[in-house]
Structure 1
Amino acid sequence: MEATGSTQSVQLGLKGHQVTDGSCTPCPDSATPPEVKVRHSSVSLPVLNPERLRTAKALVEKAVKMHRVFSVQGPYPVIRKALRARGWIEQRVHRPNQHARRRHNDASDSDDDDDNSDEVEKEEELDELYDLMSRLVRNEMVYFYWTNSRHAIKTDILQKEQIANHFAKAGSFTTKVGLCVNLRNLHWFDSADPDTFFPRCYRLGAQDEKHAFIEDYRRTACTSLLKYIVEREQGVQGEGMSHNIWAVQDKRRCSRQRSKPMVFSQMIDSALKVCQQFLESLEHSDIDISLETPQTLTRDEWARFIDSYYLVVHDGAEIERSDHLVKCCKAMLQRLSEVSPQLDIDGIHNVWIIKPGAKSRGRGIKCAKRLDQILSLVNGDPILIKENKWVVQKYLERPLLVHGTKFDVRQWFLVTDWNPLTVWFYKKCYLRFSTQPYSLDTLDSSVHLCNNSIQKHLRPSQQRHRGIPAGNMWSDDQFRTFLSSQGREAQWQTVVVPGMKNAIIHALQTAQDLMESRKNTFELYGADFMLGRDLHPWLIEINASPTMAPSTPVTARLCTAVQEDTLRVVLDRRADRTANTGDFQLIYRQAAVEVPQYVGVNLLVEGFKIKTPCQLPPLRSSNRSAPKHRGPVKEKEPAAEKVKPLPKMVSKSAETQLKKTSSGVLPPPPLPPEPPLPVPVQTITLRLPMTVNKSIHLPISTQSYAVSLWKRRPEVSKLCSDKLHPCTTEKYQGPSLPSEVTISKQSRQAVTSTLSA
């Protein structure tokens, strides 16, 4: 009861009370019960200055008029501060329970990379003026949304003038599955090869891709064996190893007793044959091979080969030395390097990284180098298999190392439109180190995963180089200083930056058709890259909602800058195209594609009805009816001494056409029959007695043509209503009539009497 009374007192203090000298007094017209007045004396109310209230109302009125009301969900103090400096007023929303939100993120396979969910958001001490203005705009429309998850905004119900910081359906490239599938379609958008910047990847939930991965693993085992032989002969030391790999394998060899001798020369020969078959498939020279030709290795032979590969490469078993085999291996590797851009990063251990398809911050990621282990990891979760959520990707076994430690690069980019596709690249980035020295002797996440959400919970190793900071992060300037010490600083601008730009553009091109393009929408993404030993960047993944938590001095400075520069591009540049965009650089703007205007489901068809003329009665003889077909018919010999009926009337236009026919001009092909109008037509059969010198016969084609003429001429409808007149033609001569037809005057009188009767 006391809590309820306190709440009412606050509302009355704002609405039903007068503010005088910092205290609330009841208005004369307010009916406040006495007991409420007693509670007022025990509740500490905010002190409202009349001058401050007038100022707040004036600022709110101006902001609402200029459509400057924003809403921020999540711990983004930089965004709030930058918007307030531009005259925007925040409409504060209720913050959900932190633990419930964290459970939701863990259970929903979110593709967001926002580490802010692990940080406890502190309620900022708002200035009283901002708090008051937030209350005054609580019922106004929000014109700018900034949230840490796209699911918090329903973009389909937003109005055109409302701005949001998330596109719908961005999972086509911000999830590991989406990026894996869509980059295979790059050849439809660009001539670039995805294998040159994206490690090959497979969905193990799809059976066809699972078989493709098994074939890739076997083929990679063959190439790894060839590299193992060549590098052992040359005495190459594994990069990043604190000791010689060959010395370790010699110790293993001494401690391991083989139960039976193995013929390794046959094993190398099989590896060479598999590589040769792979080259032939790339050159399409294997299309003439018969389907009955057996494969290079059977299933049992593959099983024995993989076991032998484990013994040699992983366990350090002794292998025969042969100069001839080494030369063959070198020659084959040289040929493979010309067609396989990922041959150098493959290494010799055949390590693959297994990732859940839609999780971020390194959750659920594991590394494995044995085929049975990889398949067992995937088969253990039937739900992820059913939804094709497991992704296996080739691990970069030989990355560029800094003081013997692995790192990756977080690079920001901004998309402000999808049609035309508009991409902004941020000039600043930062490096994230692991806490342990790099080594393939162990596949622990502390060595191979550089996510800050994982490494921040680990203690740096004592064996790690002292040049790596305790915060496990470097800015791009510090990394360029490191490259300068090695004489490679120029490669940052010539190799690293152009490679990252091209990889981002290609990834967005493949997803453009799958995105819902909405104006007044933008999104900031974080791309993760690894660098090869030649400084060539390899795209690992793209994250939505990249973390902006100031976890280290590096991120505290760079994350603040990228948020402020994002608002410069999104807001300042809308009002002034020449506005400063900070460190954002426009790297791609596609030509606009015209979208057809939506006409809806109601279609309008305009036109007029075609009127069909009255159909004439068909010509029929005394013994048979006219044929129903309209095609050309061969003439038959006329029957002897039989009188054929003539049409009851012939119009002038039809008579003219008959004369043309008699002059030798062939009639055009008959038109298809037209449906008759539902008009009753009186049919009169006219039988004329004639004196015939010879037997005559009208061709069927001529009859059909005459009937079609009646149908075509518009005068027919008039003839149907007028008085019928007998034909006065006494002579008719056509190409198929052998003689003349003469009608006497007596016959005419007989016809007249018949009609009158």
Structure 2
Amino acid sequence: SQFRQTACMGLLKWFTQRYEDKLDVHSIEGSIPHSALQFALDRCTEYVAEQKHLDIDKEFPRVWDHEWEQFLGFFHSVVHKDELFYDFKDKLLTKYALAKTCLKEISRFWPQFDIDGMRNIWIMKPGNKCRGRGIQLIKNIADVDKIMGLKVKYVVQKYIEKPLIIYKTKFDIRQWFMVTNVQPLTIWMYKDSYLRFSSQIFSLENFHESLHLTNHAVQCKYINGQLRDKSLPDDNMWDCHTFKAYLKQIGCMEKWNQVIFPGMRQSIICAMLASQDTMDRRPNTFEIYGADFILSEDFTPWLLEINCSPDLSFSTSVTSRLCPQCMEDIIKVVLDRRKDSNADTGLFEMVYKQNYPKTPPYLGMNLSVRGRKLFRARGKPPKNEGKEPRERMSLGLSSKVRKSLDYYKAETLHDNVATKLLPKLLSPDIYKGPVIEDLMEELQKSMYESDSGIKFV
């Protein structure tokens, strides 16, 4: 569904951009009906209505699969093959105003609106591979069905078509961070990071991996393009300090401390919190991760993926300096700080520590007794005080009640002893409260007359 939705938005973006650039959108020789643009406008309008919950009282018309297939074919011809519309009956200014307004509404509900572009390119990554192996870029839904038919699990993501590029070359940022505890979650972020460049000039017309995959394991297989700017490093890596110098050069020095690093920190914390319940909770362990970020044109970092067991080999001059330093700082955090909370942690900085409320002490089951207290009648003390007849153990009565019953047992009560005994136990002179009828009935059932007196069961 998102593939279809981004195609509709892409067609509206194509139309509004060409109109603003005063380029042709229709021609006598065009091959695409104007109904394709109206189809995209209707679907985007419905999406905005759904986000505003206006679809509760209104039912939208059903769109069949063959209609979507036809539209996607038109979209591919227009955006990727430069086809134009024909028989455009409506005024272009009216359509432009409607499309512009609709896109402005969508941008409120679509977080990746500015970085999605208009070509509807998606990237597919095998779930069981690493180092850039098996990654493919696709622009046709038929290619997705073909790849998914290989019975291999893939991670499918919308490709960032409008990244920030340096000297016309794509790059990403590798940021290390470490988790030293899962419950409560404790995250350490490394202050230094490094940029990885592609070996070729960035272009959306060519889907070759040397243009789009910035992993060093991929780029080391290719020779840097001849047209690439000589200001870029030969080994395709910058450390963050070189990048800061570049930002200062272009007048954006504050972007690192105000936008880029805080944005990466927030993305890492949110990703770890979202996956906390599925993480291994082994005590006295740690894990180092490598997070990959892409910057958009406004310098906002977008998290691409998080790699466990990241590459710490000395592959370039940049990693040859950073990796040994990182490994040394890991020891400072997991060992030195364990013994001394004030120990030096190198370039690792604790960016998050979960605050758990203290668990109240366990006090056992909360038991309560409902009823009223029984009082013994005034009289002689029980003769058998101190003795515990075996028959008595079957009753859950208090010691005072049991002593009183022993006393009256010794007096050899007559047939109606129960009716005379209980009123004495609850004498009006001593107790003014209500009579517990169910307890009296239970006592009457528990006693029966015998030759030697009263016997309890």
Match of 2:119 among 329, 342, 349: 349
1:362 is displaced (CA, Å) by 0.6
From 294, 309, 321, the counterpart of 1:530: 294
Give the deviation of 1:650 after TM superposition: 1.2
| Distance apart, 1:539 and its partner CA | 0.5
Aligned: 1:462 with 2:226: yes
SS at match of 1:339: coil
5 Å-filtered alignment, 1:381-420, equals: 381-382=150-151, 384=152, 389-420=153-184
The equivalent of 2:55 in structure 1 is 286
> Per-residue deviation at 1:235?
2.2
CA distance in 2, matches of 1:454, 1:514: 31
- Determine which of 340, 353, 377 is the counterpart of 2:147: 377
- SS in structure 2 at match of 1:417: strand
Q: Which amino acid aligns with 2:147?
A: L
C-alpha contact (below 8 Å) 1:654/1:709 kept by paired residues: no
Alignment of 1:13-412 (within 5 A): 215-235=1-21, 261-264=31-34, 266-290=35-59, 294-295=61-62, 297-319=63-85, 320=88, 322-379=92-149, 381-382=150-151, 384=152, 389-412=153-176
SS in structure 1 at match of 2:255: helix
Offset at residue 668 of structure 1 (A): 5.9
Determine helix, strand or coil for the equivalent of 1:393.
strand
- For structure 1, the 5+ residue unaligned runs are 1-214, 237-245, 599-608, 614-647, 672-704, 725-757
Q: Secondary structure at the match of 2:275?
A: helix
CA distance in 1, matches of 2:420, 2:442: 10
How far the C-alpha of 1:463 sits from its partner, in A, is 1.7
Distance 2:343 2:143 in 1: 55
Alpha carbons of structure 1 residues 710 and 228: separation in structure 2 relative to 1, 3 Å: same
Deviation at residue 553 of structure 1 after TM alignment: 0.6
Paired position in structure 2 for 1:547: 311
Alignment of 1:504-523 (within 5 A): 504-523=268-287
User: Any conservation in 1 of the 2:313–2:319 contact (CA below 8 Å)?
Assistant: yes
Cα RMSD (Å) of the superposition?
A: 2.9
Paired amino acid for 1:311: S
Q: Give how far 1:610 is off.
A: 6.6
Aligned residue for 1:413, secondary structure, equals strand
Distance 1:654 1:220 in 2: 91
- Aligned in 2, Cα 1:653/1:517: closer, same or farther, shift over 3 Å? same
Match among 711, 729, 733 for residue 445 of structure 2 = 711
Gaps of 5+ in 2: 363-391, 397-413, 427-432
What is aligned with 1:561? Answer: 325
> Quick one: which of 266, 274, 278 aligns to 1:502?
266
Normalising to structure 2: TM-score of the pair? 0.80
Distance 1:307 1:657, change over 3 A: same
Q: Which amino acid aligns with 1:315?
A: K
Mapped to 2, the partners of 1:344 and 1:284 lie a distance apart of: 24
Counterpart of 2:452 in structure 1 is 722
- Greater Rg, structure 1 or structure 2? 1
Amino acid at match of 2:325: A
Q: Residue 511 of structure 1: CA displacement?
A: 1.8
* 1:421 positional shift: 1.2
Whether the aligned pair in 2 keeps the contact of 1:419 and 1:593 (CA below 8 Å) is no
How many angstroms apart in 1 are the aligned matches of 2:219 and 2:451? 101
Which of residues 436, 445, 448 in structure 1 aligns to 2:200? 436
- Deviation, structure 1 residue 670: 4.8
Instruction: Note the 1:711-750 alignment, pairs <5 A.
Output: 711=445, 716=447, 719-720=449-450, 722=452
Q: Whole-Å Cα distance in 2 between the matches of residues 578 and 667 of structure 1?
A: 69
Partners of 2:182 and 2:442 in 1: CA distance: 61
- Once the two structures are TM-superposed, the CA of residue 515 in structure 1 deviates from its matched residue by 2.0
Counterparts in 2 of 1:708 and 1:543: CA distance versus 1, 3 Å: closer
1:309 counterpart SS class: helix
Q: Tell me which residue corresponds to 1:174.
A: none
| Cα pair 2:32 2:83 within 8 Å, conserved | no
1:281–1:669 Cα change, 3 Å: farther
Match of 2:337 among 538, 550, 573: 573
Aligned residues: 397
| Distance of 2:183 and 2:442 partners within structure 1 | 58
Residue 430 of structure 2 corresponds to: none
CA shift in 2, pair 1:656/1:529, >3 Å: closer
Query: Distance between the aligned counterparts of 1:656 and 1:586, measured in 2?
Result: 73
* Cα gap change, 1:586 to 1:666, in 2 (>3 Å): closer
| Contact persistence 2:32–2:84 (CA under 8 A) | no
For residue 272 of structure 2, what is the amino acid of its counterpart? L
C-alpha change, 1:721 and 1:423, in structure 2 (3 Å) is farther
Moved more, 275-284 or 531-540: 275-284
Q: Whole-Å Cα distance in 2 between the matches of residues 594 and 267 of structure 1?
A: 61
- 510-519 vs 480-489, which moves further: 510-519
Task: Give the secondary structure class of the aligned counterpart of 1:414.
Answer: strand
- What is the deviation of 1:654? 4.7
Aligned to 1:16: none
Given the superposition, is the C-alpha separation of residues 579 and 612 from structure 1 closer, same or farther in structure 2, using an over 3 Å criterion? closer
The corresponding residue for 2:388 is none
1:654 and 1:710 in contact (8 A); partners too? no
Deviations 1:85-121 (A, max 9, x none): xxxxxxxxxxxxxxxxxxxxxxxxxxxxxxxxxxxxx
Q: Give the aligned residue type for 2:344.
A: N
The answer to whether the Cα contact below 8 Å between 1:415 and 1:422 also exists between their aligned partners in 2 is yes
Q: Which amino acid aligns with 1:431?
A: L
Counterpart of 2:214 (choices 436, 450, 454) is 450
Task: Name the aligned partner's letter for residue 76 of structure 2.
Answer: Y
Q: What is the CA-CA distance between 1:304 and the residue it aligns to?
A: 1.4
CA distance in 2 between partners of 1:586 and 1:610 (Å): 63
Q: Is the contact between residue 177 and residue 190 of structure 2 (CA under 8 Å) also seen in structure 1?
A: yes
Aligned partner of residue 5 in structure 2, secondary structure:
helix
| Contact 1:420 1:593 (C-alpha < 8 Å) held by counterparts | no
Task: Tell me the SS of whatever aligns to 1:547.
Answer: coil
Taking the aligned partners of 1:723 and 1:453, their CA distance within structure 2 comes to: 98
